[in-house]
Amino acid sequence: MSIHFRSRGVRAALMATVRATALAGAVTGAVGAGSAAAQAEPSRGQLLYGNHCIACHDQRMHWRDQRRARDWESLRNWVRHWQGTQQLQWTDADIDEVARHLNDTIYRFPKPQSPRA
């Protein structure tokens, strides 16, 4: 998987976080020997978000009282809205991946049982 970053600083910070997480898991034994490499790889959604969104939408944006995403579908719609505003030309799969990343790490909305979720 190849993701192009606008800023080396964003990529470096993201990869440092991934390495630190993998190292902490290996040291504490939380990550088994066979799965350490798999745990170290960020998801496509995490990479897209880190490259295109994090500069304006840090975690404070998602935790504020007046956040606009209220469920899984509205979260996907907001990801679609902002990628369109930025003219990123993401596919539906990219939008789903970023929404999944945000949902898994921040929102925790129940996902519908459809194939798109």
For range 94-103, the mean pLDDT: 96
pLDDT (0 to 100) of residue 36: 57
Residues 6+ apart with CB under 8 A from 105: 46
Mean pLDDT of all residues belonging to the chain:
76
Give pLDDT tens digits for 49-60: 999 988 887 766
* DSSP assignments along 33-85, one per residue: TTTHHHHHSPPHHHHHHHHHTTTT--HHHHHSTT-S--SHHHHHHHHHHHHHH
Q: Which two tokens stand for residue 82?
A: 């902002």
Is 79's pLDDT higher than 70? yes
**pTM passes above 0.85:** no
